[in-house]
Amino acid sequence: MIQALAAAAAVLLAAAGAGKLRSPAPAVAMLVNGWPVLRRRRAALTHAVRAGGIAELAVAVAVLADGGRAAHALLALAYLVFVGVVLGLLTRGRGTSCGCFGAAESPVGAAHLVVDVAATAVAALAAARPPGPLAGLTDQPAATVVTGLGQVCLLAGLAYLSITALPATAAARRHVEESA
């Protein structure tokens, strides 16, 4: 089960990295809105966000291909950084999109914190006792591979929806209740 959870965290990280490469502006806006002192560094932030996206993709590939302690430790570190960013934004009261997935709206909230803390814990647990590469599934019968990959995709998809669609849906509900 740890292998599926860690792989799902890696897939989610890959989606975030790809989103930042494709559209770094939302993540740059989040950084500037959360920490106004960075406003003068917008051009440098764009390069830094893209470099971060490349790093996220590299960590995700390492976890999925290698599955060793170092890869999982880097995955835990990536999510720990996200925990720090989310806590920083929440304590400053900045109701901004995190820019996690590029152009996809993801208002920072409790769901972000829960997903990031859970992913940090899973990755740390996998680093302490690495489950091995996801590629190890290829030694299994096809049904096991399909089931394992299905679990990974389902878990990553649920995590993605919990930090994109769920907060947006909750905000829309509050808006309807307030205007009624």
Which pLDDT tens digits describe the chain residue by residue (180 residues)? Answer: 788 888 899 999 999 999 999 999 999 988 888 888 888 888 899 999 999 999 999 999 999 888 889 999 999 999 999 999 999 888 887 667 788 888 777 778 888 899 999 999 999 999 998 665 554 555 555 555 455 566 666 677 677 777 777 777 777 777 788 887
Query: H helices of the chain, where?
Result: 2-22, 25-34, 42-65, 69-91, 110-128, 142-163, 165-179
Contact between residue 131 and residue 120 where contact means Cβ atoms under 8 Å apart: no
Instruction: Read off the amino acid at residue 137.
Output: L
Q: Which residues contact 157 (CB under 8 A, 6 or more apart)?
A: none
Any idea what DSSP says for residue 160?
H
pLDDT of residue 130: 67
pLDDT of residue 135: 46
- pTM here is 0.81
What 3-state DSSP class applies to 164?
coil
pLDDT of residue 33: 84
- Separation of alpha carbons 70 and 56, rounded Å: 14
Contact between residue 90 and residue 97 where contact means Cβ atoms under 8 Å apart: no
- Separation of alpha carbons 126 and 69, rounded Å: 7
- Separation of alpha carbons 63 and 138, rounded Å: 16
As to burial, measured by CB atoms within 10 angstroms (0-12 exposed, 13-18 middle, 19+ buried), residue 165 is: middle
Q: Residue 178 corresponds to which tokens in the numbers above?
A: 């307030």
Long-range contacts (CB closer than 8 Å, 24 or more residues apart) made by 175-178: none
As to burial, measured by CB atoms within 10 angstroms (0-12 exposed, 13-18 middle, 19+ buried), residue 157 is: middle
